[in-house]
């Protein structure tokens, strides 16, 4: 330390002595100031720091103060003050600037990260070099390596002059091996075992994935987080007086192993006593008490206190009190081992929305986004309505990301702005390419789609699809806001040729031309009615050599060419939070299609589609799906047309079974389909390891069950096919890619098993 002080203050003392000798004891009035010796630094910088101005009287003390002030800037290696008649002459020698900083030997930490750490302490390219900072810089580099568990790191520095005004700094680093956590010991725990406590720690002893996760490398910050996790574990289970008494971290002499010992005092278990709500109650007290999670007589939990405060704050936010404060005040009674809890409410002022604005929508018109708003300008703010507005923007499918902020209006205590920031995804798509499906084979498709035509929110599309099974042409148009109230209207025309024999289905071919119109009517925020009508002309072709009796019988009764007028209607309830890969919400839809009299065939089909998404912890999502379909004929038509049957098995049904293979079969062991479909799925969506930030990828474990039933077949437990496995989906720039591996069980001898299944490309 004495050496460091001498290195810093001896030059300054020498400068003060030189300046004193230069001036002697004479004083004078400064008529002008001249600066000499500057190269990079402007004279204005010197004048800003110089405590002498024109007209000042200069004596020895002012000279010393001036030299000291200029020297303290760190810009100068040498400073002298001289007198030329009544002109004060400031003579300086600038320090060199840092032209470059280089590293050699760093592998564990990227060069950019090292440079960022140095920049934070004022050591970067372009800065003035000061040798007194070099020790601090070396310590900062060591700190970064210690944070990565490399306690044996060696760092050498070398200053390389480039010219008179600049130099470079070269650091040579020997990183050494990272120290591993050998043991983590918890001392004083009786309520929870070491295993239960350490389960929540991010730091751990070496395991089979530590080479990648680095979770066995000691970090002071991570240990601090783990101690907070442990404190939460105890305080969420009644141990309000839990304390961490001490923490010891020791490193072996060879700096390869780390031992961590944590001494704790668990305290005693407390229960909840009286629960009260106090303060200015804007919302009825009974309503607020329904949000209180801490119940008298229950185990005290800090987590419940925090959750209750948040829920009450959100409820007040729905009434316009955006800056409400809800403080949970616990009163501990050590004698009775109870905690009385009072939630004190300060709602503040009711806050109004001045303006709603959008940023990032380079293409999408403001009016398209504004019509999705449930929060209104000029009204009081509702956190519920702001969040709902955000969800509605996400559900448009036009944006990859939607964020919202509610900053206060400057100078106003009762107004905020609501600012939405979006990142647009390409809404226009010209897809010319190939795809592959195990059921349909090689697929060539051309798809020209504009989901957000000219930023208007309208959708225009043309598609051509050619596979082993289907050849399809489609042209569509949809206006989601045909009326100002959100009634949608769409048109579509299409032509499709099908060769069912290529898909394990009973052999026939069909040609269908169709045209239709549909409407969507919002009833409430979450309820929708859909309705529409279409006209279809269908011709069936068969091969007498491979004609199933069921197909032959239908054609004998009804003919091979049909004109059908089809009406459809649906009712849906949808609270999902996103159009792509939602993470919470419910979707229920009941729909019906009826081929009405006036056409050649009369039949109906009923559908039930239900999905429930339950968010769990750490981005895990539990998903339940159920599909029921039923069809039958009426009037002069004797049976449901075979080409309208339901088919099951494959990636969109019960995985692990070949697509379209479930249900009744013809005499050639090919699928006939059936008039009843029952399929259920349960999935656990799990975060993709190392790719949690990528929202276009989803990984899940699943359990599927279901089957297809023909007319007169009974639904029994034995008849239900089941499978379990893993699935992954990626919304790629080239279309949806889905992969699954399933292990079927509860099978029958005639079942066609296909454990690995995938699709690539867009199909229609």
Question: Tens digits of per-residue pLDDT, 87-118?
Answer: 999 998 888 888 888 999 888 888 888 888 88
Q: pLDDT tens across 6-49, in order?
A: 444 444 444 444 444 445 447 889 899 999 888 778 888 888 88
What pLDDT is attached to residue 114? 86
Are 201 and 129 in the same domain?
Answer: no
Angle formed at CA 393 by CA 614 and CA 531, multiple of 5 degrees: 80
- Residue 591 and residue 379: Cα distance in Å, rounded? 38
What pLDDT is attached to residue 449? 61
Residues written for the chain: 764
CATH number of the CATH domain containing 730: 2.40.160.50
Q: pLDDT tens across 62-83, in order?
A: 888 888 888 888 788 788 888 8
- Residue 517 and residue 29: Cα distance in Å, rounded? 95
What pLDDT is attached to residue 735? 58
Choose one of 51, 74, 94: the last residue of a domain. Answer: 94
Are 660 and 738 in the same domain?
Answer: yes
Are 162 and 249 in the same domain?
Answer: no
Are 647 and 661 in the same domain?
Answer: yes
Q: Based on the number of CB atoms within 10 Å of its own CB, is 509 exposed (0-12), middle (13-18) or buried (19 or more)? A: middle
Choose one of 315, 346, 377: the last residue of a domain. Answer: 346
Handedness of CA 126, 130, 136, 137 (dihedral sign): positive
Are 570 and 715 in the same domain?
Answer: yes
If you compute the radius of gyration of the chain from its CA atoms, what whole number of angstroms results?
38
- Residue 247 token pair: 């923490």
What pLDDT is attached to residue 222? 87
Q: pLDDT tens across 186-237, in order?
A: 999 999 999 999 998 989 888 887 777 778 888 888 898 999 999 999 999 9
Instruction: Answer whether residue 429 is part of any domain.
Output: no
Give the distance, in angstroms, between the CA of residue 85 and the centroid of all CA atoms in the same chain: 71
- Other beta carbons less than 10 A from residue 504's beta carbon: 20
What pLDDT is attached to residue 127? 81
- Residue 507 token pair: 């052999």
What pLDDT is attached to residue 709? 95
Q: Which of 52-61, 431-440, 673-682 is predicted with the least confidence, judged by mean pLDDT?
A: 431-440
What pLDDT is attached to residue 625? 96
Task: Assign 404 a pLDDT band (cuts: 50, 70, 90).
Answer: very high
- Checking if the pLDDT of 707 tops 90, the result is yes
Instruction: Answer whether residue 457 is part of any domain.
Output: no
Instruction: Answer whether residue 608 is part of any domain.
Output: yes
Q: Which comes out higher in pLDDT, residue 540 or 428?
A: 540
Are 372 and 356 in the same domain?
Answer: yes
Q: What is the mean pLDDT of the chain?
A: 85
Output phi, psi for 45, to 5 deg. Answer: -65, -40
- Domain count within the chain: 6
What pLDDT is attached to residue 116? 86
- Checking if the pLDDT of 432 tops 70, the result is no
Note down the domain range covering 210: 180-265
Global confidence as pTM: 0.64
Q: Which comes out higher in pLDDT, residue 218 or 493?
A: 493
- What dihedral do alpha carbons 212, 215, 219, 225 form, nearest 10°? 130
Q: pLDDT tens across 640-679, in order?
A: 999 999 999 988 899 999 888 899 998 888 899 999 999 9
Answer for the pair 140, 77: CB distance below 8 angstroms, yes or no. Answer: no
Q: Which comes out higher in pLDDT, residue 520 or 500?
A: 520
Rounded alpha-carbon distances, angstroms, from residue 622 to 394, 582, 584, 687, 696: 21, 11, 9, 12, 18
Are 208 and 60 in the same domain?
Answer: no
Answer for the pair 338, 291: CB distance below 8 angstroms, yes or no. Answer: no
Pick from 647, 709, 707: nearest CA to 676: 709
Q: Based on the number of CB atoms within 10 Å of its own CB, is 653 exposed (0-12), middle (13-18) or buried (19 or more)? A: buried
Q: pLDDT tens across 452-482, in order?
A: 677 677 888 777 777 667 788 889 998 888 9
- Residue 320 token pair: 């316009």
Pick from 540, 591, 601, 531: nearest CA to 565: 601
| Bridge partners of residue 680, in order along the sequence | 626, 705
Report the percent of the chain where pLDDT is more than 90.
43
- Residue 722 token pair: 């089941």
Task: Assign 763 a pLDDT band (cuts: 50, 70, 90).
Answer: very low
Residue with tokens 């003060």: 16
Q: pLDDT tens across 363-393, in order?
A: 888 888 998 899 999 899 998 899 999 999 9
Are 605 and 729 in the same domain?
Answer: yes
Instruction: Answer whether residue 509 is part of any domain.
Output: yes
Are 305 and 406 in the same domain?
Answer: no
Answer for the pair 562, 556: CB distance below 8 angstroms, yes or no. Answer: no
Answer for the pair 148, 108: CB distance below 8 angstroms, yes or no. Answer: yes
Are 148 and 279 in the same domain?
Answer: no
What pLDDT is attached to residue 518? 95
CATH number of the CATH domain containing 277: 3.10.20.310
Task: Assign 734 a pLDDT band (cuts: 50, 70, 90).
Answer: low
- What dihedral do alpha carbons 50, 56, 62, 68 form, nearest 10°? 0
Q: pLDDT tens across 284-318, in order?
A: 999 999 999 999 999 999 999 999 999 999 999 98
Answer for the pair 108, 150: CB distance below 8 angstroms, yes or no. Answer: yes
Sheet of strand 271-279, all strands in order from the earlier edge strand to the far edge: 271-279, 338-346, 325-333
Are 664 and 549 in the same domain?
Answer: yes
Task: Assign 426 a pLDDT band (cuts: 50, 70, 90).
Answer: low
Pick from 212, 234, 222, 231: nearest CA to 258: 222
Report the percent of the chain where pLDDT is more than 70.
91
Choose one of 60, 94, 128: the last residue of a domain. Answer: 94
**First-to-last C-alpha distance (Å) of the chain:** 77
Are 540 and 675 in the same domain?
Answer: yes
- Residue 305 and residue 286: Cα distance in Å, rounded? 18
Answer for the pair 669, 505: CB distance below 8 angstroms, yes or no. Answer: no
Pick from 423, 386, 388: nearest CA to 407: 386
- Checking if the pLDDT of 440 tops 70, the result is no
Instruction: Give counts: helices (H), strands (E), the chain.
Output: 13, 33
Instruction: Answer whether residue 367 is part of any domain.
Output: yes
Instruction: Answer whether residue 431 is part of any domain.
Output: no
- Residue 68 and residue 50: Cα distance in Å, rounded? 10
Mark out the alpha helices in 349-382 (DSSP H runs): 366-370
Answer for the pair 301, 271: CB distance below 8 angstroms, yes or no. Answer: no
Instruction: Answer whether residue 433 is part of any domain.
Output: no
Answer for the pair 242, 262: CB distance below 8 angstroms, yes or no. Answer: no
Residue with tokens 């300054």: 12
What pLDDT is attached to residue 695? 67
Q: Which of 94-103, 179-188, 440-449, 585-594 is predicted with the least confidence, judged by mean pLDDT?
A: 440-449
- Residue 260 token pair: 């961590």
What pLDDT is attached to residue 691? 61
Instruction: Answer whether residue 718 is part of any domain.
Output: yes
């Amino acid at each position: 330390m004495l050496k460091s002080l001498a290195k810093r203050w001896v030059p300054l003392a020498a400068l003060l002595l030189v300046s004193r000798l230069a001036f002697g004891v004479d004083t004078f009035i400064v008529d002008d100031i001249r600066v000499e010796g500057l190269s990079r630094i402007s004279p204005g910088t010197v004048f800003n720091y110089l405590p002498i101005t024109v007209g000042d009287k200069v004596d020895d003390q002012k000279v010393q103060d001036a030299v000291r002030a200029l020297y303290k800037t760190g810009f100068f290696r040498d400073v002298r003050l001289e007198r030329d008649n009544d002109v004060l002459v400031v003579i300086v020698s600038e320090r060199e600037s840092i032209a470059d900083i280089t590293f050699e030997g760093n592998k564990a930490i990227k060069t950019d990260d090292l440079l960022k750490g140095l920049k934070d302490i004022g050591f970067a390219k372009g800065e003035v070099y000061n040798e007194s900072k070099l020790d601090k810089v070396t310590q900062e580099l060591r700190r970064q390596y210690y944070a990565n568990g490399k306690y044996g790191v060696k760092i050498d520095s070398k200053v390389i002059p480039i010219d008179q005004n600049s130099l470079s700094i070269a650091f040579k680093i020997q990183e050494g091996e990272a120290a591993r956590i050998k043991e983590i010991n918890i001392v004083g725990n009786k309520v929870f075992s070491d295993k239960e406590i350490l389960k929540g720690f991010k730091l751990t002893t070496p395991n089979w994935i530590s080479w990648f996760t680095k979770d066995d490398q000691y970090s002071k910050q991570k240990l601090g987080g783990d101690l907070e996790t442990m404190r939460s574990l105890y305080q969420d289970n009644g141990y309000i007086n839990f304390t961490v008494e001490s923490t010891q971290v020791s490193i072996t002499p060879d700096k390869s192993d780390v031992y961590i010992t944590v001494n704790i005092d668990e305290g005693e278990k407390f229960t909840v006593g009286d629960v009260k709500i106090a303060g200015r109650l804007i919302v009825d007290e009974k309503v607020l008490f329904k949000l209180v999670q801490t119940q008298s007589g229950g185990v005290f939990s800090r987590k419940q206190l925090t959750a209750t405060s948040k829920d009450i704050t959100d409820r007040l936010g729905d009434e316009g009190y955006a800056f409400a404060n809800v403080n949970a005040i616990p009163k501990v009674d050590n004698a009775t081992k109870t905690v009385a809890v009072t939630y004190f409410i300060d709602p503040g002022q009711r806050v109004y929305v001045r303006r709603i604005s959008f940023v990032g929508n380079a293409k999408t018109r403001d009016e398209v986004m504004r019509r999705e708003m449930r929060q209104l300008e000029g009204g009081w703010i509702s956190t519920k309505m702001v969040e709902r507005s955000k969800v509605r923007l996400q559900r448009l499918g036009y944006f990859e990301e939607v964020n919202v902020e509610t900053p206060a209006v400057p100078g106003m205590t009762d107004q905020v702005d609501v600012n939405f920031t979006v990142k647009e995804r390409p809404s226009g798509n010209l897809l010319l390419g190939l795809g592959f499906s195990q059921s349909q084979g090689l697929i060539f498709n051309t798809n020209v789609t504009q989901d957000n035509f000219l930023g208007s929110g309208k959708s225009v599309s043309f598609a051509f699809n050619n596979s082993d099974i289907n050849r399809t042409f489609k042209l569509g148009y949809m206006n989601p806001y045909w009326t100002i109230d959100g009634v949608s209207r769409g048109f579509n025309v299409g032509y499709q040729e099908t060769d069912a024999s290529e898909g394990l289905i009973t052999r026939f071919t069909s040609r269908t031309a169709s045209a239709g119109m549909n409407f969507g009517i919002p009833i409430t925020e979450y309820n929708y009615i859909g309705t529409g009508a279409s006209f279809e002309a269908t011709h069936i072709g068969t091969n007498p050599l491979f004609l199933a009796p069921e197909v032959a019988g239908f054609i004998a009764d009804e003919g091979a060419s049909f004109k059908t007028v089809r009406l459809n209607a649906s009712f849906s309830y949808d609270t999902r939070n996103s159009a792509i890969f939602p993470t919470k919400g419910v979707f229920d839809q009941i729909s019906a299609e009826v081929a009405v009299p006036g056409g050649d065939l009369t039949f109906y089909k009923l559908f039930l589609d239900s999905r429930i998404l339950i968010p769990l912890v750490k981005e895990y999502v539990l998903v339940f799906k159920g599909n029921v379909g039923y069809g039958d004929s009426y009037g002069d038509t004797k049976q449901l047309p075979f080409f309208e049957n339901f088919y099951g098995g494959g990636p969109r049904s019960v995985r692990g079974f070949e697509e379209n293979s479930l249900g009744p079969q013809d005499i050639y062991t090919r699928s006939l389909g059936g008039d009843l479909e029952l399929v259920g799925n349960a999935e656990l969506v799990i975060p993709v390891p190392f790719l949690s930030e990528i929202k276009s990828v989803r990984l899940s474990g699943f359990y599927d069950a279901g089957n297809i039933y023909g007319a007169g077949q009974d639904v029994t437990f034995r008849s239900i096919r089941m499978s379990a496995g893993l699935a992954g989906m990626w919304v790629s720039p080239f279309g949806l890619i889905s992969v699954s591996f399933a292990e079927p069980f509860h099978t029958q001898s005639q079942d066609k098993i296909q454990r690995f299944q995938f699709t690539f490309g867009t199909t229609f």
